[in-house]
Amino acid sequence: MTNQKLLCGQVLTYSGDPFVGAWQDAVHVNSSGGVLIRDGVIEAIGNAATLQATHPDAQVTQYGEKLILPGFVDAHVHYPQTGIIASWGKRLIDWLNTYTFPEEMRFGDPAYAAEIAGRYLDLTLSNGTTTVCSYATIHPESVDAIFEAALARGQRVVAGKTCMDRNAPDGLRDTAQSAYDDSLALIEKWHGVERAHYAITPRFSPTSTVEQLETLGALWAKRPEVLMQTHLSEQVDEIEWAKGMYPDARDYLDTYEAYGLLGERGIYGHSIHMEPREMDRLSEVGGAVVHCPTSNTFIGSGLFDMAAMKARSIPVGLATDTGGGSSFSMLRTMAAAYEIAQLRGVALHASQLLWLATAGSARSLHLQDHIGSLKVGNDADLCILDLASTPAIAQRSTRATDVWEAIFPTLMMGDDRAIADVWVQGQLINKVQQEP
């Protein structure tokens, strides 16, 4: 019995970044392509007929006109906010105090954390997302829960304990010392175990004291191989609040830089209202930003400036920002990214949107040599898209005169019905029916 598998269909590959130069030079769709998988890894990519002839023992799955692409990579989420997604009527600070903090308080209970972590990963898998980079809560148990749920599903996941020692309610604050100790213990417990990656996670500068930011900066200096994630310049009120709390800082980014929390492995969520110095500095250092378009409209934050980031070659990931974002779907997220770019006068191409949701996000997490693109040696984490999943989409895609016109309606109008199959490490995932 062979352990080789061959998936045949329309195969999407990139030879470069479609934001650099002409997108046509960076992307290729092979309409009769094949992806050969062995031991959970991509072994070969090519024409289906050739691969079938040279590997006659491989188990074949025929996907016809469906699109075979990497599993989506969601570069900024809060899995503990699954239960409060789509909460009405608040902007960032009130939204945190009203909905988020009371819910996050519940994650000291390991059973509750495990229930939500499992539910979250099943929901995102059914939307074609195979890797997420998640904030947990201040409770170490909440980090164990997401890594254990990922381990059970064979998934590559990035996560970290959220650190907050001020401006959060009783029961949801740690201290500078406990944030350091707990984060270090979690790095030692989880980082590099199977497919687990740790990110040091100060929530944002308004919820940390200077002492806590300094302590976490020292931890990152001691363990520079891990990632560091936080929030940056999301809402105008928040920026004023942060600057008021750190009067010596030149700008919001400086509230991190001053304490050792700016670096190449740093991931800065939202990054909407950026001053030129902040973008220039990020570009110099090589840190990544993450675009969270459904969140940025849902909480009323603002319009991310993709062109300014790309002009400076700043790595950009794409994310749902569950539960500030209003969807678990990276398809819906690509649609929102398209709409926001349109409001800024830029029409992102389908190849660029798909790149952001896969290779771009993987790059922002420094995981491009494992996930986010169909290349030999990468993990066989795949998503199969049905380009005619609803009557509304089908009636549009059948008029298409080329493959991009066939793909675009699914990016704009698709949801979990468009996800035909999901593969994680070369294993087909059975869709989990969620209890209502």
Footprint of ligand GUN (CB under 6 A): 78, 92, 96, 100, 203-204, 231, 234, 295, 299, 321, 324
Q: Which is nearer to ligand GUN, 364 or 368 (CB)?
A: 364
What is the nearest approach in angstroms of ligand GUN to the Cβ of residue 299?
6
Pair 332, 415: CB distance under 8 Å: yes
- Contact partners, residue 395, CB within 8 Å, separation at least 6: none
What is the nearest approach in angstroms of ligand GUN to the Cβ of residue 92?
6
Q: Torsion over CA of 309, 310, 312 and 317, rounded to 10 degrees?
A: 60
What is the nearest approach in angstroms of ligand GUN to the Cβ of residue 64?
39
Nearest to 47 by CA among 59, 61, 31, 28: 31
What is the nearest approach in angstroms of ligand GUN to the Cβ of residue 292?
7
Q: Which is nearer to ligand GUN, 203 or 363 (CB)?
A: 203
Q: Which is nearer to ligand GUN, 271 or 397 (CB)?
A: 271
Half-sphere exposure of 270 (CA within 13 A, CB side): 29
Q: Which is nearer to ligand GUN, 293 or 409 (CB)?
A: 293
Q: Which is nearer to ligand GUN, 143 or 393 (CB)?
A: 143
What is the nearest approach in angstroms of ligand GUN to the Cβ of residue 148?
22
Residues 109-168 that bind Zn ion (CB under 5 A): none
295 makes contact, choosing from Zn ion, ligand GUN, none, with CB < 5 to 8 Å by partner type, with ligand GUN
Q: Which is nearer to ligand GUN, 231 or 363 (CB)?
A: 231
Stretch of 158-166, 265-273, 334-342, 397-405 contacting Zn ion, by CB under 5 A: 265-273
Pair 160, 186: CB distance under 8 Å: yes
Locate 188 and state its tokens. Answer: 């030692």
Task: Name the residue number minimizing CB distance to ligand GUN.
Answer: 324
Rounded distance, CA 33 to CA 43, Å? Answer: 14
370 makes contact, choosing from Zn ion, ligand GUN, none, with CB < 5 to 8 Å by partner type, with none
What is the nearest approach in angstroms of ligand GUN to the Cβ of residue 261?
15
Q: Which is nearer to ligand GUN, 155 or 301 (CB)?
A: 301
Q: Which is nearer to ligand GUN, 97 or 390 (CB)?
A: 97
Pair 120, 371: CB distance under 8 Å: no
Q: Which is nearer to ligand GUN, 299 or 309 (CB)?
A: 299
Q: Which is nearer to ligand GUN, 76 or 197 (CB)?
A: 76
254 makes contact, choosing from Zn ion, ligand GUN, none, with CB < 5 to 8 Å by partner type, with none
217 makes contact, choosing from Zn ion, ligand GUN, none, with CB < 5 to 8 Å by partner type, with none
156 makes contact, choosing from ligand GUN, Zn ion, none, with CB < 5 to 8 Å by partner type, with none
Residues 267-286 that bind Zn ion (CB under 5 A): 269
Buried b (16+ CB within 10 A) or exposed e, 156-191: bbbbbbbbbbebbeeebbbebebbbebbeebbeebb
Pair 324, 81: CB distance under 8 Å: yes
What is the nearest approach in angstroms of ligand GUN to the Cβ of residue 366?
22
What is the nearest approach in angstroms of ligand GUN to the Cβ of residue 238?
7
Site string for Zn ion, 308-327 (x = CB under 5 A): -------------x------
Nearest to 75 by CA among 288, 238, 373: 288
414 makes contact, choosing from ligand GUN, Zn ion, none, with CB < 5 to 8 Å by partner type, with none
Locate 10 and state its tokens. Answer: 């329309």
257 makes contact, choosing from Zn ion, ligand GUN, none, with CB < 5 to 8 Å by partner type, with none
Residues at the site binding Zn ion, with contacts judged by CB under 5 A: 269, 321
